Structure 1
């Protein structure tokens, strides 16, 4: 099975290829800050399937979640910090290669990134979809590299 470095590199390659395709078709205009954010989300999506086991990828994923959660608390975004905390503990309820390695989880896990802001804060889907698809792209790259398809 590929290690965390392969999954990170796979996510970066997949994310850059998708972004280049979107730019080529005129569907995306490059914003450097947003590109960095999307690539970080893509890498987190690639690391997520292995958070149900003791691994370097798990430690990297949860370190990023901790930094983000502390930042949200510092910014007094307590609801977002609570949502993040809830989502971060979900993999702990399964065995390795359980639901986190299923194709449907690739679509379901990042769904709260779109649903919660839309229903609770009234944000537009079009604003949220790039982040959803970045996570899905990273997740897909992980499952592809693990030969789950």
Structure 2
């Protein structure tokens, strides 16, 4: 099982390859800023399953979330900061290698990124779908590298 560096590197490689392929095939071609943001979601998704342990990956994950959350608050995007904060709390309700390391959690946990803004903030689902898929993909790379699908 790789550590945080392996999970982050694997997510970056597979995420960049998938995004490049989707762009090349004409399925999805985000602007450069959105592409970088999507890659951030891929990496955060890949690190998420191990944030319930005291590790460097946990510190990196929560440091990135703190920076993002503070930036959102400074910019006055309190609703998005609340969604991010809610999602960050999910690992504390599980034990390591428990339900967070399952294929169904890969779809369920990122669903908060997708459903909460639609229900509470009336954001069109089409605007959020790429970010949900990026989070699921990052999560998938974690489980794949942990050999949960073998």
Tell me the TM-score normalized by structure 1: 0.94
Query: Is contact 2:87-2:113 (8 Å) kept?
Result: no
Q: CA deviation at 1:148?
A: 0.8
Counting matched residue pairs gives: 149
Matched residue, 1:42: 42
Tell me the TM-score normalized by structure 2: 0.93
Matched residue, 1:74: 74
| Runs of 5+ unmatched residues, structure 2 | none
**Map 1:39-118 → 2, pairs under 5 A:** 39-118=39-118
Aligned-CA RMSD value: 1.2
Cα distance 1:30–1:88, how it changes in 2: closer, same or farther (>3 A)?
closer
Q: CA deviation at 1:92?
A: 1.1
2-side partners of 1:28 and 1:84: how far apart? 25
Q: CA deviation at 1:30?
A: 4.1
2-side partners of 1:30 and 1:76: how far apart? 25
2-side partners of 1:83 and 1:29: how far apart? 26
Give runs of ≥4 in structure 1 deviating > 4 Å.
none
Matched residue, 1:124: 124
| Runs of 5+ unmatched residues, structure 1 | none
1-side partners of 2:81 and 2:69: how far apart? 5
